[in-house]
Amino acid sequence: MKRLMTRRNLLRGAGVCLALPWLESLAPRGASAGEPGTPKRFLLCTFPNGAPHHWWETAPAFGKTLKGADFKLPRVLEHFAPVKSKMLMISRLGNYTWSTEQHPYIEPSHSRLNAALSTCVDADQLGRDARQDLGEWVGNGISVDQLIVQKAGPEQATRIPSLQTGLGVKPGFFDQRSYAYNQAVSWKSPREPLKRSVNPKAVFDALVGAGAAQGGSVPGQSDEQTRIEAERRAATEKSVIDGVLADANSLINRVGSGDRKIVQQYLDSLREIEKNATRVQSTMTPPAGLGCSPIDKPGAVPEPPGQAEGLNENDNTEAGEYKHDDHANVMIDLIVMAIQCDVTRVVSHMLDDARSEFEYRCIPEDVRAQVGLAYRRESSLHFHSSQHGAGNMDRATQDGQYKIVQQSNLDYAAINCWLGQKTAQLAQRLDALREGDGTVLDHSVMVYMSEMRSHDHDGYDLPIVLLGGDGVFLNDAHVAYDALGNDRQLRDLWFTIMNQYYGLGISSFGEDRRGEPNALLEEILR
């Protein structure tokens, strides 16, 4: 089933992509990239465990593009119909050239592939290079969303630099590695994973703390009073932080070198908090017209305490019975609120943790029907089990597609369809917000994708959808690259977004142990 991909095969593919001359290739297509001053936004919505074969049922042949009426939505993505005209499917991109094995079958796949989704480097290898025990090692590259935050310039700065949300209430086995690889896709620095928060209450508090509730001035309070109040709040925070910094500084001089690193890390984190907490706010105002209307304070969803631990559908919590669909919906509300109040422009949203053990008993009948699955009450819809259920797509090709040996089981497809539905709902909500000459969705790059291919846990042929794109990317189209061996790599998608949409002038992103430089994905550009 697993055939080795030879180095020669890979090299044969390598010569094909000719990069454009350097400077030209890095110049963003400014003419089409929206009005000056229009906010740029990046939303990375990930789903774990790959996609069913149905995902590619309408895919163009290798190397071809289908547009407009010729581009048909696959059944599992039918919920995207209302935003199909703003949608671009990208197929046959791989993410494996960073692995020392030079092989699209990555082991252990869940943790390593999820770690590489947004960084395109090998977290395990970094740990080995640092001579660390992989069970304790936490390290990776800086992720694409965080690089955007760090490089996008002051005109894109927001009170919350980036937001990490998720719905993973029942993570699976962490492959004997840190939680960070299964529960984070954002990496602020090589040693700093930004774990997603599944707790709507915590996200809400963070948004309100950043001023999302203050659409303008508080009624009955003069601007002067507002300012005095804000200054008093900032001074209170500063007093706490000064006190703690004094403790930390006194400690740091007395402890051994190993402990000193830990205290230093605490101290550095506090200084970061200081920047936000002591800022006298109201220096930024939401873009006109978007409005900023906070939702009602949502209930709490506890973080899962560890691997294979957490909530099941209908479990009792303090806030009542746990309903996954409600959880997903309130998280959409919160992301929309964050965007609408412009407290953040960069969001990573993990629709579930890698290797999820959640049982999707929440999926309504109509979504199951979408994939032709008769409603089976007894079906547990266990995500990881269904991934390992029936389904086999070959590496061999047939008529411009990968050959399907055995069709994916419908439980797996139903889960994918539901995850797509939730993402489509978010896209539609963003598309309903008018902004300048278009909508917020138009002015965003929203990527919906998985870290792996399908049942097989492979690191090639990733399922990817891009929405919006501000005139930079093709819309209403499905672009397919070539088959394995001549396929293109995910690192080039991140490279293209950073340089063409954001104009960051990034010279290289991710790793290619074959020595291939990054090159733009020309086919997806408008």
User: Which of 71, 25, 105 is CA-nearest to residue 500?
Assistant: 25
Q: Which is nearer to other proteins, 257 or 283 (CB)?
A: 257
- How many Cα atoms within 13 Å fall on the side-chain side of residue 276? 16
> Could you say which residues in the range 359-378 bind other proteins, by CB under 8 A?
359, 377-378
213-227: burial string, b at 16+ Cβ within 10 Å, e else: bbeeeeeeeeeeebe
> Could you say which residues in the range 130-159 bind other proteins, by CB under 8 A?
130-133, 135-138
Residues 175/355, Cβ–Cβ less than 8 Å: yes
Cβ within 8 Å of residue 272, ≥6 positions away = none
Q: Tell me: does residue 5 bind other proteins (CB under 8 A).
A: no
Q: Tell me: does residue 396 bind other proteins (CB under 8 A).
A: no
- How many Cα atoms within 13 Å fall on the side-chain side of residue 415? 30
Q: Which is nearer to other proteins, 27 or 246 (CB)?
A: 246
> Roughly what angle, to the nearest 10 degrees, separates helices 324-340 and 410-431?
30
Which of 29, 279, 388, 526 binds other proteins (CB under 8 A)? It is 388
Q: Nearest distance from residue 40's CB to other proteins, in Å?
A: 24
Determine the Cα–Cα distance for residues 486 and 469; give it in Å rounded to an integer.
Answer: 26
Determine the Cα–Cα distance for residues 360 and 246; give it in Å rounded to an integer.
Answer: 49
Cβ within 8 Å of residue 77, ≥6 positions away = 55, 89, 417, 420, 424, 465
Which of 30, 68, 306, 517 binds other proteins (CB under 8 A)? It is 306
Alpha helices of 371-443 — where are they, by DSSP H?
383-387, 410-431
Q: Nearest distance from residue 273's CB to other proteins, in Å?
A: 5
From 71-79, 174-182, 467-475, 503-511, span contacting other proteins (CB under 8 A): 174-182
Q: Which is nearer to other proteins, 81 or 308 (CB)?
A: 308
Using DSSP's 3-state secondary structure scheme, residue 426 falls into helix
375-384: burial string, b at 16+ Cβ within 10 Å, e else: eeeebebbbb
> Could you say which residues in the range 95-114 bind other proteins, by CB under 8 A?
101, 105, 107
Q: Which is nearer to other proteins, 135 or 517 (CB)?
A: 135
Residues 173/360, Cβ–Cβ less than 8 Å: no
Which of 91, 278, 379, 454 binds other proteins (CB under 8 A)? It is 379
Which of 13, 211, 304, 459 binds other proteins (CB under 8 A)? It is 304
Q: Nearest distance from residue 188's CB to other proteins, in Å?
A: 7
Q: Which is nearer to other proteins, 352 or 442 (CB)?
A: 352
From 42-50, 319-327, 338-346, 382-390, span contacting other proteins (CB under 8 A): 382-390
Q: Tell me: does residue 202 bind other proteins (CB under 8 A).
A: yes
**SS3 annotation, 168-234:** CCCCCCCCCCCCHHHHCCEEEECCEEECCECCHHHHHHHHHHCCCCCCCCCCCCCHHHHHHHHHHHH
Which of 51, 142, 148, 194 binds other proteins (CB under 8 A)? It is 194
- Give phi and psi for 460, each to the nearest 5: -120, 170
Q: Look up residue 322 and give its DSSP letter.
A: -
Q: Tell me: does residue 457 bind other proteins (CB under 8 A).
A: yes
From 112-120, 280-288, 379-387, 512-520, span contacting other proteins (CB under 8 A): 379-387
Q: Tell me: does residue 340 bind other proteins (CB under 8 A).
A: no
Q: Tell me: does residue 62 bind other proteins (CB under 8 A).
A: no
Q: Tell me: does residue 125 bind other proteins (CB under 8 A).
A: no
Q: Tell me: does residue 205 bind other proteins (CB under 8 A).
A: yes
User: Which of 360, 385, 446, 493 is CA-nearest to residue 46?
Assistant: 446
Which of 63, 294, 302, 400 binds other proteins (CB under 8 A)? It is 302
Using DSSP's 3-state secondary structure scheme, residue 333 falls into helix
From 14-22, 269-277, 340-348, 469-477, span contacting other proteins (CB under 8 A): 269-277
Q: Nearest distance from residue 247's CB to other proteins, in Å?
A: 4
Q: Which is nearer to other proteins, 250 or 293 (CB)?
A: 250
Which of 58, 312, 397, 428 binds other proteins (CB under 8 A)? It is 312
Q: Pattern 494-513, binding to other proteins, x per CB under 8 A? A: --------------------
Q: Which is nearer to other proteins, 410 or 474 (CB)?
A: 410
Q: Which is nearer to other proteins, 401 or 409 (CB)?
A: 409
Report how many helices (DSSP H) and strands (DSSP E) the chain contains, helices first: 14, 17
Q: Look up residue 436 and give its DSSP letter.
A: T
State the number of binding residues for other proteins (CB under 8 A).
95
Determine the Cα–Cα distance for residues 109 and 361; give it in Å rounded to an integer.
Answer: 26
> Could you say which residues in the range 409-448 bind other proteins, by CB under 8 A?
409-412
Residues 76/463, Cβ–Cβ less than 8 Å: no
Q: Give rounded-to-5 percent helix, strand, coil for the chain.
A: 35, 15, 50
Q: Tell me: does residue 309 bind other proteins (CB under 8 A).
A: yes
Which of 179, 294, 299, 471 binds other proteins (CB under 8 A)? It is 179
Place of tokens 């101290």: 267
> Could you say which residues in the range 14-33 bind other proteins, by CB under 8 A?
none
Which of 97, 99, 140, 307 binds other proteins (CB under 8 A)? It is 307
> Could you say which residues in the range 206-245 bind other proteins, by CB under 8 A?
232, 235-236, 239-240, 242-244
Which of 6, 85, 100, 176 binds other proteins (CB under 8 A)? It is 176
Q: Which is nearer to other proteins, 147 or 474 (CB)?
A: 147
Q: Tell me: does residue 386 bind other proteins (CB under 8 A).
A: yes
Residues 443/433, Cβ–Cβ less than 8 Å: no
